[in-house]
């Protein structure tokens, strides 16, 4: 494993250097822009009672949009009847960080509440030079850390990126069960297999493609091995609608690490496809995903790969066998409870770290509007009691 990843790192060394230079220039530009926004936002913030929230560093488009609320933090503040405002720079009370910027931005933050979230594999051998600075998930530097790892820490919650994509933070058990039941909707399968990807750092996706395409043609609408434009031209880049026509979907993780399970396998199952998968474990989400529904493909275990190849061939040629395979439950009996417990832990923790008492303790109440915020919160709690 180390030898292969070593050769991969050498192959991509030039790309990593260029990427590092790109992020250096971009971070400098962001710092300059933040200085401008800091001055611009001062007048409107002097007598503003809103809780100011900042998404620090570089984020994907829409992450700092209150209408998106991917983390659920805006819903928590709404539930506490707190006014909030997303700011670019000036004096945020809550600052949310991720892996797309230098860690010094997090360490130098003066925010009263710091939250770290990663949707990336911070232990990836392929990207080690870039993400290694976040390998500890910043648990000692933030009030709340969210990631893929299984860490025992008071301020850490395992929150893989499939969770916010499929399950709203305030979901009840009934809501979660309804969402999981939607995964079993029947779709008319007219095509064999698809591979939707833009890259192949480890070479495994290309290996799987080359071997399985011996059974029947595989459609690839992404940048990798592109041979199909219908995802863009017909389905308007709706991946779920596109996948619904396929029996199988090749969906290994970008990188491999224990606990690293992304939305890829969930998107595959949601579209009614059988996942041809590789990741940190043959049981990627214990107690949630039924591992028997997964067809495992390995970079090194050729005997296991031959078995998987033969099973795909039989399922594709035998409709009765295919229907029997798809009758299996996609999820374990405990899936609803496990997902609900994870969401409740995060919901409760956000309520704690976003509360006025946490953000503005009495010994730090220098501004009148902060005292008013805490007083209003106490009055609401008294009325509830």
Instruction: Compute the half-sphere exposure of residue 188: CA atoms within 13 Å on the CB side of its CA.
Output: 1
Q: Is the pLDDT of residue 233 over 50?
A: yes
Over residues 136-153, the pLDDT tens digits come to 999 999 999 999 999 999
**Spatial distance between the Cα atoms of 34 and 54, rounded to a whole number of angstroms:** 11
Q: Are 193 and 357 in contact (CB under 8 A)?
A: no
* 3-class DSSP state of 363: helix
User: What local confidence, expressed as pLDDT, does residue 12 receive?
Assistant: 59
Cα dihedral 293, 295, 296, 301 in deg (nearest 10)? 140
| Average pLDDT, rounded, for the chain | 85
* Span 190-196, average pLDDT: 98
Which residue(s) pair with 97 in the sheet?
116
Over residues 151-170, the pLDDT tens digits come to 999 999 999 999 999 999 99
User: What local confidence, expressed as pLDDT, does residue 73 receive?
Assistant: 85
* Span 11-20, average pLDDT: 65
Superfamily for domain range 184-326: Glycosyl transferase family 10, C-terminal domain (3.40.50.11660)
| Short-list 266, 270, 267, CA closest to 284 | 266
The full DSSP string for 173-221 is HHHHHHHHHHTT------EEEEE--S--SSSHHHHHHHHHTTTS-EE--
Higher pLDDT, 243 or 39: 243
Q: Is the pLDDT of residue 244 over 70?
A: yes
User: What local confidence, expressed as pLDDT, does residue 41 receive?
Assistant: 47
Over residues 351-384, the pLDDT tens digits come to 999 887 888 775 444 444 444 555 555 555 665 5
Q: Name the band, by pLDDT with cuts 50, 70 and 90, for residue 39.
A: very low
Q: Name the band, by pLDDT with cuts 50, 70 and 90, for residue 75.
A: confident
Contacts of 3 (CB under 8 A, 6+ apart): none
The pTM (predicted TM-score) of the whole model is 0.82
User: What local confidence, expressed as pLDDT, does residue 67 receive?
Assistant: 64
Percent of the chain with pLDDT strictly greater than 70? 77
Region(s) of the chain under CATH 3.40.50.11660: 184-326
Q: Is the pLDDT of residue 6 over 90?
A: no
User: What local confidence, expressed as pLDDT, does residue 40 receive?
Assistant: 45
Q: Is the pLDDT of residue 247 over 50?
A: yes
Q: Is the pLDDT of residue 121 over 60?
A: yes
Supply 231's token pair.
């995802």
* Span 175-204, average pLDDT: 95
CB burial class (10 A; 0-12, 13-18, 19+) of residue 25?
A: exposed
Q: Is the pLDDT of residue 219 over 60?
A: yes
Least confident stretch, 36-50, 101-115, 173-187, 338-352: 36-50
Q: Name the band, by pLDDT with cuts 50, 70 and 90, for residue 241.
A: very high
Least confident stretch, 192-206, 233-247, 360-374: 360-374
Edge-first strand order for the sheet with 144-147 is: 84-86, 51-55, 94-97, 113-117, 144-147, 156-158
């Amino acid at each position: 494993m180390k030898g292969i990843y070593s050769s991969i790192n050498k192959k991509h060394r030039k790309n990593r250097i260029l990427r590092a230079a790109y992020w250096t220039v971009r971070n400098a530009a962001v710092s300059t822009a933040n200085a401008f926004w800091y001055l611009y936002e001062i007048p409107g913030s002097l007598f503003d009672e809103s809780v100011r929230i900042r998404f620090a560093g570089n984020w994907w488009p829409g992450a700092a949009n209150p209408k998106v609320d991917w983390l659920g933090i805006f819903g928590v503040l709404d539930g506490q009847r707190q006014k909030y405002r997303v700011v670019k720079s000036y004096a945020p009370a809550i600052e949310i960080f991720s892996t797309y910027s230098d860690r010094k931005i997090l360490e130098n933050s003066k925010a009263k509440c710091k939250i770290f979230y990663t949707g990336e594999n911070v232990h990836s051998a392929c990207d080690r030079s870039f993400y290694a600075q976040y390998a500890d998930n910043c648990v000692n530097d933030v009030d709340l850390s969210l990631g893929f790892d299984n860490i025992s820490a008071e301020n850490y919650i395992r929150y893989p990126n499939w969770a916010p994509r499929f399950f709203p933070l305030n979901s009840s058990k009934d809501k979660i069960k309804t969402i999981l039941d939607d995964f079993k909707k029947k779709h008319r399968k007219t095509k064999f297999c698809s591979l939707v990807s833009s890259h192949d750092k480890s070479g495994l996706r290309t290996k799987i493609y080359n071997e399985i395409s011996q059974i029947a043609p595989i459609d690839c609408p992404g940048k990798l091995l592109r041979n199909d434009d219908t995802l863009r031209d017909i389905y308007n880049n709706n991946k779920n609608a596109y996948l619904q026509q396929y029996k199988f979907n090749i969906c290994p993780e970008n990188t491999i690490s224990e606990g690293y399970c992304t939305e890829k396998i969930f998107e595959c199952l949601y579209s009614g496809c059988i996942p041809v998968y590789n990741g940190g474990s043959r049981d990627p989400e214990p107690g949630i995903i039924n591992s028997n529904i997964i067809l495992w493909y390995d970079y090194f275990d050729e005997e296991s790969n031959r078995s998987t190849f033969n099973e795909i061939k039989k399922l594709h040629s035998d409709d009765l066998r295919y229907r029997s395979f798809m009758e299996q439950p996609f999820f374990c009996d405990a899936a609803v409870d496990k997902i609900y417990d994870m969401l409740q832990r995060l919901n409760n923790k956000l309520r704690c770290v976003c509360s006025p008492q946490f953000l503005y303790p009495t010994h730090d109440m220098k501004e009148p509007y902060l005292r008013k915020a805490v007083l209003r919160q106490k009055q609401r709690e008294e009325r509830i009691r």
